[in-house]
Amino acid sequence: MICYRVVAAAAAFFVSGGSAFAASETVGVPAGEFLMGSEHGAADEAPQRAVALSAFRLDRFEVTNGRYRECVAAGACTPPVLGVSRTRASYFAAPEFADHPVIYVSWPQADAFCRSAGGRLPTEAEWEKAARGASPSRSEYPWGDTPPDCAHANLAGCVGDTDAVGARPLGQSPFAALDMAGNVWEWVADWYAAAYYQTAPATDPTGPGAGTLKVMRGGCWESTASNLRVSCRRPELPKAWADNIGFRCAYDAEVTP
Ligand SMILES: [Ca+2]
């Protein structure tokens, strides 16, 4: 039995137990409104609307192979479906890629990891607020409206595979989360519904109550710019896995602005 006690403080985040798969670094997102969605994207991103969220913390980085390996070793997680990456015959178990994002994990595997780490997958709204920033930001990308390049994000034409998490500090979000655009797609908690924004609650939305597809966010190392926009939503079967899908975790916490 693995059990963590999460204690939040004004400027720090502590997880007891000392496991490497507990959050090593998180960012705080204070309670308040942000502008979710876009009027300039796909139909499922509209309407753009004000959404109020409770405070939470989020992993600053995508979950790494190193963190996920600790969870497998502890018996709390199952290994990724494959141990390779697009260009690397040995990836998940290779020491040189310990700080790269874990891939080939399904939604249930991501969900299990986050629960074992004392957290949960972020909601779509939490993920987007952490990427875009609080109201009145309408930024297209975590760093602003400048189109992505390899200095800000690992997208198509950069590495051709995953890169170490946090390798592009220029791309950090207003809340200092890294790789919210590119590197790997990130599973979030919500079921997908294309028309959800038209009827979703304006406070702490958690997605439709049921569905067949989960949502991924942020684009990946082989995405073009459009998929890296903070409002872009990509539905996928929860059992899916791929060499460009990973995740990060959120944590209930008090956050002082
Ligand atoms: Ca990412």
* DSSP result, 155-190: -TTS-SS---TT--GGG--TT----SSSSSEEEEEE
Task: For residue 246, report the phi and psi dihedrals to the nearest 5 degrees.
Answer: -140, -145
221 alpha carbon – ligand 1 mean position (Å): 9
pLDDT tens digits for 24-33? 799 999 999 9
The structure's pTM equals 0.92
**How large a percentage of the chain has pLDDT more than 70?**
91
Coil/strand/helix, residue 101: strand
Q: In 10 A of CB 31, how many CB atoms?
A: 15
pLDDT tens digits for 153-179? 999 999 999 999 999 999 999 999 999
The domains located in the chain, with CATH, are 11-252 (3.90.1580.10)
Reply yes or no on whether the pLDDT at 3 is more than 50: no
- Predicted local distance difference test score (pLDDT) of residue 156: 98
pLDDT band at 23 (very low <50, low <70, confident <90, very high): low
- Predicted local distance difference test score (pLDDT) of residue 24: 73
CA-closest candidate to residue 105, choices 114, 95, 94? 114
pLDDT tens digits for 84-96? 999 999 999 999 9
1 alpha carbon – ligand 1 mean position (Å): 30
209 alpha carbon – ligand 1 mean position (Å): 25
4 alpha carbon – ligand 1 mean position (Å): 26
Q: Are 217 and 236 in contact (CB under 8 A)?
A: no
**Section 214-233 average pLDDT:** 98
pLDDT band at 7 (very low <50, low <70, confident <90, very high): very low
Reply yes or no on whether the pLDDT at 18 is more than 80: no
Q: For residue 7, list its beta bridge partners.
A: 14
181 alpha carbon – ligand 1 mean position (Å): 5
Q: Are 29 and 129 in contact (CB under 8 A)?
A: yes
State the Cα–Cα distance between residues 168 and 159, nearest whole angstrom.
12
